[in-house]
Amino acid sequence: MKKLFHRFNFLLIFVLCVAFTSCRTTNVAVPAERSLSARLEVKHDSAASVPIKGIPILAWYGVKEHTIERYRELKEAGIDHNLTFCRNADELASALDAAKAAGVKIFASCPELSWGEIGAAENIVNRFKHHPALAGYHIIDEPSRDQFLHWGELVRRIQTVDDKHFCYVNLIPSIHPDPDQSIYGTATYREYVQSFINEVPVPFLSFDVYPIRFNGVERILLDGFYENLEIISDEARNVGKPFWAFALTTPHAHFPIPTIADLRLQVFSSLAYGTQGIQYFTYWTGPPNGGLIFHDGPIDITGQKTPTWYTVQQMSREIKALSSVFLGAKVIKVEHITVNAEGENGSVPIGTTRFDFANRPAEAQIITKFTPANGTNAMVSFLKNGNRCYMVVINRNLEGGDNMSVIIEGGTGLQLIKKDGKAVPASSESSNQTVTPGDVLIYGWDIKKK
């Protein structure tokens, strides 16, 4: 969908690598799990660096009016990184200065970078590489396989000029309007991802997929959403890199105005698969392009807040509050549950594995009972983060779907993680928990030292 923006000079891309990998300069410290959030700090020159707390959140097609007030408004929405496709280098300079004053990081983008001409890109890098609000450089959005060699060379040249900030490339999703594989330039989507990893030396993977559609009657979750997460998570884990994912915040065509349930389903599903950063598409509502009418984004086309802005703010607060669970977490296992009203197993999402409590990970033996009610559509993820483990349960139903009930019991030391990030003894709470559509239920426990 974003390709249409490129064709009409309405560039959209998302950059961000503030956690775990930033070309040898990012320090990440995940404190004791009982703190409310993890602290992430990007260091480049000096004390001018901006501290970022928790999972980084990026506004894709972000602030359009580069004033301190606008960047503070972005920060109030819980967003600490911005990607605006600036018209020229001077506009980029204004964006960086305003973002610095507001405590926001910028992913640099301007024609000299996006054209892919090495000399022009190097000039931009030399001009801005010492700016304290700079997070990294946006390179290209959704390249096909035959472009990897060129963009890989550009990334290498930029990193020789500035090895203290990352380069960012966003990949095509596996769910794509093109019905064949020609869009990828490879035989399979997995091969496309593997080829990118081998040829373009960026420190993290990123992909965008918007799985929720509205058919005029109800919301529909597209087949292939979880398969895309499976592939990206698997390939990122294989090479020891993090990955970043998206949530749709600006409706258009058959994409509905996002509810909090819509955002939760996208965001928590991605976090349960191990994503280390969340990107919103978009923050500022763009003009009509290519027959697409964009509307009701967090900031509308006239620059006013919409109800979506407050939905995004709520989602951002939940992400930050639960960062001590997800920031730095490694996936142990992700499986899915589909049980109909009669208690019979249905098909799990394409590309995924059915949940089997009897074969839960060795680290999860503290969980002694897990009984979902009939009519459950859910995913269950087991994560390890430092000396802690977590079980994450997500209701896969969309807005308008059923609540999910599940009975969970466990041994001494099992904790229920509240939405504000605080952990309480599971024994002090009901073992019968209800989860609304799209929402998450999290249990945590310390790993016993051998």
Each residue's pLDDT tens digit, 409-430? 999 999 999 999 999 999 999 9
Sheet holding 134-141, edge to edge: 166-170, 134-141, 105-108, 81-83, 57-60, 278-281, 243-248, 205-206
d(CA 10, CA 288) in angstroms, rounded, equals 10
Each residue's pLDDT tens digit, 343-373? 999 999 999 999 999 999 999 999 999 999 9
Q: What is residue 180's predicted lDDT score, i.e. its pLDDT?
A: 61
d(CA 269, CA 229) in angstroms, rounded, equals 9
Each residue's pLDDT tens digit, 155-200? 999 999 999 999 999 999 998 765 566 789 999 999 999 999 999 9
Q: What is residue 140's predicted lDDT score, i.e. its pLDDT?
A: 95
The mean pLDDT of 396-404, rounded to a whole number, is 94
Torsion, CA 398, CA 206, CA 72, CA 70, rounded to 10:
-90
Residue type, 186: T
Q: Is the pLDDT of residue 225 over 80?
A: yes
70: left (phi over 0), alpha (psi -120 to 50) or beta: alpha
The mean pLDDT of 110-114, rounded to a whole number, is 91
- Beta partners for residue 305, in sequence order: 299
Tokens 């994912």 -> residue: 245
Position 438 confidence tier, pLDDT thresholds 50, 70, 90: very high
Share of the chain above pLDDT 70, in %: 87
Position 433 confidence tier, pLDDT thresholds 50, 70, 90: very high
Phi/psi for 326 (5° steps) reads: -95, -30
3-state secondary structure of 289: strand
Q: Is the pLDDT of residue 4 over 60?
A: no
Alpha-carbon distances, residue 30 vs 10, 56, 84, 273, 324 (angstroms): 37, 13, 29, 19, 7
Cis peptide before 275 (omega within 30 of 0): no
For 87-115, the three-class secondary structure string (H helix, E strand, C coil) is CCHHHHHHHHHHHHHHCCEEEECCHHHHC
d(CA 381, CA 109) in angstroms, rounded, equals 35
* Residues sharing a CB contact under 8 Å with residue 47, sequence separation 6 or more, in sequence order: none
Residue type, 412: T
Q: What is residue 1's predicted lDDT score, i.e. its pLDDT?
A: 52
Domains of the chain listed by start with CATH number:
3-326 (3.20.20.80), 330-446 (2.60.40.1180)
Burial 363-384 (b: 16+ CB within 10 A, else e): bbebbeebebbebbbbbbbbbb
Q: What is residue 336's predicted lDDT score, i.e. its pLDDT?
A: 98
Pick from 19, 17, 7, 64: which is nearest to 250 by CA?
64
* Element holding 376 (H helix, E strand): none
Phi/psi for 217 (5° steps) reads: -120, -45
Residue type, 222: L
Each residue's pLDDT tens digit, 230-289? 999 999 999 999 999 999 999 999 999 999 999 999 999 999 999 999 999 999 999 988
Its pTM surpasses 0.75: yes
d(CA 264, CA 92) in angstroms, rounded, equals 32
Q: What is residue 46's predicted lDDT score, i.e. its pLDDT?
A: 33
Each residue's pLDDT tens digit, 30-39? 333 333 333 3
The mean pLDDT of 101-121, rounded to a whole number, is 94
Each residue's pLDDT tens digit, 128-167? 999 999 999 999 999 999 999 999 999 999 999 999 999 9
Pick from 353, 404, 399: which is nearest to 375 by CA?
404
Whether 138 and 15 have beta carbons less than 8 Å apart is answered as: yes
Higher pLDDT, residue 427 or 2: 427
For 198-262, the three-class secondary structure string (H helix, E strand, C coil) is HHCCCCCEEECCCCEEECCCCEEECCCHHHHHHHHHHHHHHCCCCEEEEEECCCECCECCCCHHH
What DSSP designation does 339 have?
B
Each residue's pLDDT tens digit, 286-319? 998 888 999 999 999 999 999 999 999 999 999 9
Q: What is residue 2's predicted lDDT score, i.e. its pLDDT?
A: 57
Whether 200 and 158 have beta carbons less than 8 Å apart is answered as: no
Q: What is residue 50's predicted lDDT score, i.e. its pLDDT?
A: 53
Q: Which two tokens stand for residue 95?
A: 């964006």
Q: What is residue 10's predicted lDDT score, i.e. its pLDDT?
A: 30
- For helices 118-128 and 89-102, what crossing angle results, to 10°? 30
